[in-house]
Amino acid sequence: MIRATRLLLAAAAAALLVSCGGSSDDDPSVNSMAATPTAYGRTAIWTVSGLNLDRGISLRITAGQCSGLAEVGEGSATQRQYSCRVASLGELVAQVDDASGGRLATLRVIVPPPVVRLTLAQGTIEVELDPVAAPVTVNNFLNYVNGNFYNNTIFHRVVAGFVIQGGGYAPGNPDPVFKTPTQPPIALESNNSLSNLRGTIAMARGSDPDSANSQYYINVVDNLALDYKSPQEPGYAVFGRVTAGMDVVDAISIVPTRAIPSLGLFDVPVTNVVVTTARQVR
C-alpha cells in the first residue's frame, strides 16, 4: 500500500511541477493545473487554480504546438482558464509564469494520434489518423468530422476487391443526394511515404491533384497502383488506417450495387449503407 501511494505521488509530480519558495502572501501561486480534452485537432481548456491569480499571470506552450492560445473569460483570483487548438502529437507542455516571467507551474500531457469512429447499422469502423505524414489531409478530415458533416452520409461507391468510398452523398428517395456545403479543396499529400495498403484510408479527388474535399475511401486490398509515382502520376493521399472494424469494411465491400448514370455513379449499394455518426473518440 505504501509503495502504491509513493508511485501515485511520483506520477503526479511528473505531470505538474510547481515552483516554491521566495514568495510573499500577495504573490500569485498555483495549486493545480488541468487540461481537457487533449486530443489532436480539438480545443483544449487549460484550468489553473491557486491564489492571487489576478496579479498578472500568463500561460504559454513550451513544448509541442497548440494554436490560438488565449484566455477564456475574465477569470478570478483563484481560477483562470486558457484555450488553444492542439496541433501536434506527443508531449505538450504548458507553463504558467508570473508577471516578471518567473515559472509558477508546468503541466505535461501526452497527445496520442487521433481516432475517428464511424458508426453504421453494420457495426463500427475505427480509423487512426496520421497528422505527421498528412497534416493538411488529417485536419481537413477532422474539420468535417467535428462539424458533423459525415453524419447520415452513405458509402456511395462500393467495388469488391478494391475500395469502399463515402463522404459525399446523403441517402435520398430513391437516389442519393450530393452533400453540401464542402470546404475548399486541399493540397495533395500523396508523396508522404504512406501506401494504399489494405485497411488504409485515403482521400478521393478529381483529375486535378489538388481537388480533394470531403470524399474518402478505404482500401479493401493492397492498391499500390493508387500510390504516388511522380508529379505526372501523383496518386492519392493516404492519411490513416483502420484499427478496428475491418470485418465491417469487408462486409460492405461485397453488397449488391446498382448504377445511376444520371448522377455519374455506377457502384451504389442497392440498400443504403449509412454512416449514422462520425465522431472523434481520441
pLDDT level of residue 39 (50, 70, 90 thresholds): very high
Closest by Cα among 157, 205, 163, 161 to 185: 205
For the record, the C-alpha cell of 211 comes out as 481537388
Instruction: Please state the separation of Cα 72 from the chain's center in Å.
Output: 23
Closest by Cα among 50, 49, 82, 200 to 137: 200
Widest CA span in the chain: 77
DSSP state of 6: H
Q: CATH 2.40.100.10: which residues of the chain?
A: 115-280
CATH code of the domain occupying 115-280 = 2.40.100.10
**pLDDT digits over 199-213, tens only?**
999 999 999 999 999
**pLDDT digits over 151-190, tens only?**
999 999 999 999 999 999 999 999 999 999 999 999 999 9
What pTM value is reported for the model?
Answer: 0.87
The rounded radius of gyration (Å) of the Cα atoms in the chain is 24
Nearest 5°: phi and psi at 4? -60, -40
The stretches of the chain forming alpha helices (DSSP H) are 2-15, 135-146, 246-253
Report the top-level CATH class of 2-111.
mainly beta
**pLDDT digits over 219-243, tens only?**
999 999 999 999 999 999 999 999 9
